[in-house]
Structure 1
Amino acid sequence: MGLSILLVEDEKNLALSLKRFLESKGHEAYVCFDGYQGLDQCLSTNPEVLLLDCRLPGIGGVELLKKAKAHNPDLYSIVFTAFGSIEDAVEVMKLGSFDYIQKPIDLQRLGQLISKIEENIRLKREIDYYRNREQTVLIGSSPAIAQVRESIQKLASVSIDKTPPTVLIMGETGTGKDVVARLLHRNSSRCNKPFIHINCISLPENLVEDELFGHDQGAFTGAKTAKPGLMEAADGGTLFLDEIGDLPYNLQGKLLTAIETKKIRRLGSIKDRKTDPWIIAATNRNLFEKVNQGSFRQDLLYRLNVFSIYLPPLRERKEDIPDLCHHFTKKFSLHYGKTIQGIKEEVIAIFLRYSWPGNIRELAHEIEQAVLWCEGDTIDLKHIRSGIKNDFKENTLEKQLAMDKGVLVEQLLQSSISLKELEAELIQKSLEKTKGNLSQAAKLLGVTRDWLRYRMEKKRQDV
């Protein structure tokens, strides 16, 4: 898979020789020649592996390793020690170094140690993947969710020898587009390769290109080393472009070219690099409208929308709410070490009547808060935010008023009273209730004071 390796060695000829050896094995190797420079580079670039001499000019190798491990406890390190320097070897092993090599360096042994580290990292990623896999589920039995599951299965059947078609997932914020993207990856032939997620709206515009395509050393001020972009990191796996509708317009053409040619060019580079990520994009925007407005490229939209999946808002699939409630109750109960067994039907009844503008994400947050407040074994109405309960009451009152108005109008139509008689009666009752105060009576009727005075004068003339 290739590792990012930082080599800190003051013997320049040895360092450059080791760099060539590591690059011949498919790794990306960067070299520093003194301790301070090595520490700065390590803290700023977060390499996967640190190779360093125990004795360095500036800050010593042991001190450098201490600071590097404090910054990144998962950092793998191999330390070079002078022949017979047992004290140094013991010290670095105590600091959690993966191993040490005595000088002169045996390249075969170094290669074996790097291979072991590579295997350890691969296994850790696989464990992390399966942990995430257990947490990635699509809850619900509504027709809309059944259709999404069918789409996932269709894409899973794509030949393993070919790149699956680009996928565009559409839906409001909080509907679970990221869950669907992870399920697509998990069920594909690329499931053992990286899943890289980038949110196009969370990065400043001047950083998006660097994140996607990477840069070469010296590409701009501060680019002390080369850095691969996420399209390279996702090679053979999946690149999930979340909120693609917010990708800067000037980068959309470059992304389109990268998708179609399966090649990218880092910032500051003149060399194209092959990369083959499966592109899955998601948006809560109407991209067709953005095309008409001139803020999204039509050709990129067509390229992304080869296979589309629509996730409806929660208010359009409320039959899934009970299942989601039980799922989140169990999930957060386990997370916070509680023994909550369920959620009362009256709570679910209120949830079924709520509009959920934040969709599943809002529901999950509501259940999480209820779990935190709950001291017993069942979530009750008292554990639910007052905002949702008040919304329920207001909606119920509004519906009741609307129904009462409907009944009243129906009764009036069936009676013999005329509209003129009804108006006169309403004016009379409002004046009686306000003791003749025209302004208050007008407010009670929902009209202006001048309109009320005009209607009273008109009534006197008619008499």
Structure 2
Amino acid sequence: MEHHASILVIEDERAQRDALQEILSGAGYEVETVPDGETGLQRLEEQPFDLALTDLALPGLGGLDVLKFLVRHRPDCVCIILTGYATVKTSVTAMRLGAYDYLSKPVDPQEILLVVGRALEHKRLKQENLQLKKELHKRFGFANIIGTSEAITEIFELIRKVADTDSTVLILGDSGTGKELIARAMHYNSHRRQGPLIPVNCAAIPEELLESELFGHERGAFTHAVRTRIGRFEQASGGTIFLDEIADMSPGLQVKILRVLQDRSFERIGGLKTIRVDIRIIAATNQNLEEMVRQSRFREDLYYRLNVIPIRVPPLRERASDISLLATSFLKEFSRKKKKPLKRLSPEVLDLLLRYPWPGNVRELENLMERLVILTEGETVGVDDLPERFHLRQSASPAASQELPEQGIRLTTAVQEFERSLILKALEKSNWVKSRAAQLLHLNRTTLLEKMKKQNILPPVSLAPLPKKFL
């Protein structure tokens, strides 16, 4: 079996050096040996090794000097110390300085292979963990947020201001607007990014299990509690806990959450020891907590503890200028994932998307784009490719079809949608000749170009590069 990992052996005794090379080479490792610490450091500077196996007592620079160099300059290289003078003091010193393990000579071949194998596996897992955290940071970083509308830009600036603080944040918004995405962006752009992010959907866990899920329990605390369990609050220590749909918590559990918010302490179910945690708390809900407080369905003191920094995420219908960018981004993403040709939306389809109310918000748009990538035969998505609910809105004009709901309507959003629809129709009618489209709309060409830029209207012939923002 070939391992391919590279190992540097630093050993002044020729017989030991040759024996170690034979053992490790026979196991499939790429082995290089040197007789002293100076030569060892020179090779470590010249070439990256996966593991260094060094004697403690060497002429000149000793094994601890090699270890200190590795910790400072080659942290990816795992170090194992060998010595014929094993003492508890030197063992503790080596481990404290960063050695993976400490072995006494003469070394048993089976033992050295076992320890080397474990050390390299530890290195691999550590690298995978760091890579995963880098990917998570990249995925949820601010540089990836899509959206240039005024509503989302304001949220973006607010997130930037509060991300690197420990203040409690309450995210408010309809289902599908991206509340968890915002929570993740805050965590992965804070000083807690190296710690865990523990999400808990309070509505998805049965009430009788949620307390144990959050706080944990001691062995024997209740029937079937056969062992001690650590809860989500303990798991999140050093990082962030995200309590989604917190409005669904029972009144009794709300009291316990209030205590955690106040002093970051609690007891496990059936336990007497008070546990203190270092966590940031982010909560979210799609319900009106102020109304629930008035109806005595949510504790007023808990509401004010949570509502330190409120962030309201607007529904998609209130950020219509972002629909084109989001749709294009999702089309690109699913085309790559599904290994399908890249699709583009016809002007008629984009017009319908802008007029649609999007009750499912961004999640509904994302699901629609996935469906269109899979089911659309040609390169261009036409009106016939859309589900029936979009056809029902096709014949009605934006102004005539707009109903005035009981709670009212955002006039600026409605005007923005209507203006965008007219610009698209003029561009389509003029075959995207902007000067002709401007004449149809009785506008100057420069005014039309400004409005197109403001509305993020892109030519249908190609997919323009996306700005480095997402949601």
User: Normalising by structure 2, what TM-score?
Assistant: 0.58
Is residue 167–residue 305 contact of structure 1 (8 Å, CA) maintained in 2? yes
Listed as ranges, the gaps of 5+ residues in structure 2 are 1-109, 405-471
Distance in 2 between residues matched to 1:126 and 1:187, nearest whole Å? 16
1:131-156 Cα deviation digits (max 9, x unpaired) = 34444342110111111111111113
- Number of the residue aligned with 1:141: 148
Structure 1 pair 138–205 and aligned structure 2 pair: CA distance change class (3 A): same
Is residue 334–residue 373 contact of structure 2 (8 Å, CA) maintained in 1? yes
- Which residue, 230, 248, 255 being the options, matches 2:232? 230
**Structure 2 residue 138 is matched with structure 1 residue 131:** no
- Name the SS for the 2:395 alignment partner: helix
Residue correspondences, number = 293
Is residue 353–residue 392 contact of structure 1 (8 Å, CA) maintained in 2? no
- Number of the residue aligned with 1:171: 173
Is residue 339–residue 377 contact of structure 1 (8 Å, CA) maintained in 2? yes
**Structure 2 residue 307 is matched with structure 1 residue 305:** yes
Whichever residue aligns with residue 206 of structure 2, its letter is P
- Number of the residue aligned with 1:321: 323
Any residues of structure 2 matched to 1:409-448 within 5 Å, and which?
A: none
- Number of the residue aligned with 2:349: 347
- Name the SS for the 2:256 alignment partner: helix
Shift of 1:127: 2.9
- Name the SS for the 1:222 alignment partner: coil
- Name the SS for the 2:393 alignment partner: helix
Structure 1 pair 298–151 and aligned structure 2 pair: CA distance change class (3 A): same
Distance in 2 between residues matched to 1:273 and 1:115, nearest whole Å? 33
Structure 1 pair 144–165 and aligned structure 2 pair: CA distance change class (3 A): same
Whichever residue aligns with residue 384 of structure 1, its letter is L
**Structure 2 residue 360 is matched with structure 1 residue 358:** yes
Whichever residue aligns with residue 145 of structure 1, its letter is I
1:176-227 Cα deviation digits (max 9, x unpaired) = 1011101001111111111111111001001110111011111111111111
Shift of 1:295: 1.1
Structure 1 pair 255–157 and aligned structure 2 pair: CA distance change class (3 A): closer
Shift of 1:307: 0.7
- Number of the residue aligned with 2:259: 257
- Name the SS for the 1:266 alignment partner: coil
User: Normalising by structure 1, what TM-score?
Assistant: 0.58
Distance in 1 between residues matched to 2:213 and 2:246, nearest whole Å? 14
Is residue 136–residue 188 contact of structure 2 (8 Å, CA) maintained in 1? no
Q: Which stretch of structure 1 is more off in the superposition, 238-247 or 130-139? A: 130-139
Distance in 2 between residues matched to 1:296 and 1:107, nearest whole Å? 61
Distance in 1 between residues matched to 2:331 and 2:227, nearest whole Å? 47
Shift of 1:389: 2.0
- Number of the residue aligned with 2:422: none
More helix by share: 1
Flag the structure with more relative contact order, 1 or 2, with Cα contacts below 8 A and sequence separation at least 6: 2
Shift of 1:111: 10
- Number of the residue aligned with 2:200: 198
Listed as ranges, the gaps of 5+ residues in structure 1 are 1-105, 159-163, 403-463
- Higher Cα Rg, which structure: 1
Structure 1 pair 157–205 and aligned structure 2 pair: CA distance change class (3 A): closer
Is residue 340–residue 376 contact of structure 1 (8 Å, CA) maintained in 2? no
- Number of the residue aligned with 2:385: 383
Distance in 2 between residues matched to 1:366 and 1:167, nearest whole Å? 31
Structure 1 pair 241–157 and aligned structure 2 pair: CA distance change class (3 A): closer
Distance in 2 between residues matched to 1:304 and 1:118, nearest whole Å? 40
Distance in 2 between residues matched to 1:116 and 1:242, nearest whole Å? 39
Structure 1 pair 124–250 and aligned structure 2 pair: CA distance change class (3 A): farther
- Number of the residue aligned with 2:31: none
1:72-123 Cα deviation digits (max 9, x unpaired) = xxxxxxxxxxxxxxxxxxxxxxxxxxxxxxxxxx999999998877765554
- Name the SS for the 1:198 alignment partner: strand
Structure 1 pair 219–394 and aligned structure 2 pair: CA distance change class (3 A): farther
- Name the SS for the 2:365 alignment partner: helix
Structure 1 pair 234–218 and aligned structure 2 pair: CA distance change class (3 A): same
Shift of 1:382: 2.5
Is residue 164–residue 186 contact of structure 2 (8 Å, CA) maintained in 1? no
Any residues of structure 2 matched to 1:60-139 within 5 Å, and which?
A: 121-136=125-140, 137-139=144-146
Structure 1 pair 356–305 and aligned structure 2 pair: CA distance change class (3 A): same
Structure 1 pair 114–257 and aligned structure 2 pair: CA distance change class (3 A): farther
Structure 1 pair 124–214 and aligned structure 2 pair: CA distance change class (3 A): farther
**Structure 2 residue 158 is matched with structure 1 residue 151:** yes
1:415-453 Cα deviation digits (max 9, x unpaired) = xxxxxxxxxxxxxxxxxxxxxxxxxxxxxxxxxxxxxxx
Shift of 1:299: 0.9
Identity %: 40
- Number of the residue aligned with 1:84: none
Shift of 1:297: 0.8
Is residue 138–residue 179 contact of structure 1 (8 Å, CA) maintained in 2? no
Is residue 315–residue 359 contact of structure 1 (8 Å, CA) maintained in 2? yes
Is residue 167–residue 306 contact of structure 1 (8 Å, CA) maintained in 2? yes
- Number of the residue aligned with 2:245: 243
- Name the SS for the 1:168 alignment partner: strand
- Number of the residue aligned with 2:371: 369
Shift of 1:394: 5.3
Shift of 1:258: 1.3
Shift of 1:172: 0.8
Shift of 1:273: 1.2
Whichever residue aligns with residue 190 of structure 1, its letter is R
Distance in 1 between residues matched to 2:236 and 2:250, nearest whole Å? 21
Structure 1 pair 113–216 and aligned structure 2 pair: CA distance change class (3 A): farther
Is residue 343–residue 373 contact of structure 2 (8 Å, CA) maintained in 1? no
Whichever residue aligns with residue 139 of structure 1, its letter is I
Distance in 2 between residues matched to 1:126 and 1:288, nearest whole Å? 41
- Number of the residue aligned with 1:62: none
Distance in 1 between residues matched to 2:311 and 2:388, nearest whole Å? 35
Q: Aligned-pair RMSD on alpha carbons?
A: 2.9
